[in-house]
Every structure is written in structure tokens, then in C-alpha cells.
Amino acid sequence: MKIESTFLIGVGIFFGCVALIYWFLSYEDGGFTMLLGTCALGFLPGSYYFYWHRRFRGHKYFFWGKTERVVGTRPEDLPDATIADGAGVISSFPGSSVWPFTLGMGAFVLLLSFVFGVWLAMIGGAIILSALVGVTAESRRGGTH
């Protein structure tokens, strides 16, 4: 988790700096806002990963503290992990499902209604609704098979 969080926090710090430099050089609000947003995009997930990284590792300090040889506790973060270390349930992956297709087509029809008229929005909305119901039911049931 350490590299992941460092990576994202690095994004945040870099764009924070660029945003400040840009603002004081240009006083242009559009670009400044977007750079700030990008900065936040780095910090939000970055701090989340950092939180988990600390939970896993129990670092003495933050970034500059004495780190141990092992980075993180997950087997994918261990340089000398064996495949057996990762044994177990990785995740649950859904099987075939028709609902992504339905949802996608619903969104397609819904957006077309902005061009061709509101009547299409009814159809699109109905498709999306059915897809949402379907996908929720499928998840609760545990997939199609």
C-alpha cells in the first residue's frame, strides 16, 4: 500500500504546488480551479491508502520514519512472497450478466432523448430502472450462476 499511497499523494502535492505557482503567476481562476481539483484527486484516495498502509504496517513515523525491509503486509507488496502466500479468496467475481448491457443501452437511449425528444427519455429511463433492479437482485442472489 505504501507505493500506491505515495504515488497518489505525490500527485496531490505536485498539483498543489503547480496550482499555487500558476495562481500567483496568472491569477486565472479556471485553470487554478482545475489544478486544485486535480490536487484533491491525488489527496483523497492517497490519504485513504496511506491510512490503510499505516494500519497494516504500524509505522513509527509517517513517510520519513525508519521503515522495515518488508513493504506492506499484502503478499503482492512482499518482494519475497511465494504464490502460496496469496492463497485464499481473492475476491468474488460476478459471472455473466445481461444487466451491464441493459444499463449501457438505457444510458444510450436516455442521452439520445436530449437530441430527439423527451419521449425517448421515458424508454431510456425505463430500461435503466429495470437494469438497476436487475443488477441489484442479481447481486443479492449471487449472480446468474
Partner 1 sequence: MTDVIAPPAAGGGSLIPGMGTEHVAHAHEDHGPTGLMKWITTTDHKVIGLSYMITAVALFYIAGLLALGIRVQLTTPAGTFISFQQFNQLFTMHGSIMMYLFAGPFAFGGLANYVVPLQIGAPDMAFPRLNALSYWLFLGGATTMLMGFFVGGGAADFGWVAYAPLSTTTYTPGPGEDLWIMALVLTGFSAIFTGVNLVATIFYLRAPGMTMFRMPIFTWNMLVTGILILIAFPVLTAALVMLFADRHFGTMIYSVTGCHTVTGTPDAHACGSAVLWQNLFWFFGHPEVYILALPYFGIVTEIFPVFSRKPVFGYKGMVFATMSIAALSTGVWAHHMFTTGTVLLPFFSLMSLLIAVPTGIKFFNWIGTMWRGQLVYKTPMLMAIGFLFAFLMGGVTGVMLAAPPIDFFVHTTYFVVAHFHQVLFGTAVFGGFAGLYYWYPKMFGRMLNDRLGKWHFWLLFVGFWLTYMPQYILGLHGMPRRVASYPSNLGWQSWNIASTIGAFMIAASFMFLLANFWMSWRYPVPAGDNPWDAHTLEWFTTSPPPHHNYTHLPTIRSERPTWDYNHPQSPNIRHGSGRTRAAPGHSNGHGPGGSGNGAAPGHGNGSGMERREGPVS
DSSP state of 77: G
Where in 27-86 is the site for partner 1 (CB under 8 A)? Answer: 28, 30-31, 34-35, 37-38, 41, 49, 71, 74-86
Could you tell me the smallest distance in angstroms from the CB atom of residue 117 to partner 1? 10
> Do 124 and 77 meet the contact criterion of CB atoms below 8 Å apart?
no
Q: How far is residue 90 from each of residues 8, 37, 93, measured CA to CA in Å?
A: 24, 33, 9
> For residue 27, is it left (φ>0), alpha (ψ between -120 and 50) or beta?
left
Residues that bind partner 1 (CB under 8 A): 3-4, 7-8, 10-11, 14-15, 18, 21-22, 25-26, 28, 30-31, 34-35, 37-38, 41, 49, 71, 74-101, 103-105, 107-108, 111-112, 114-116, 135, 139, 142-145
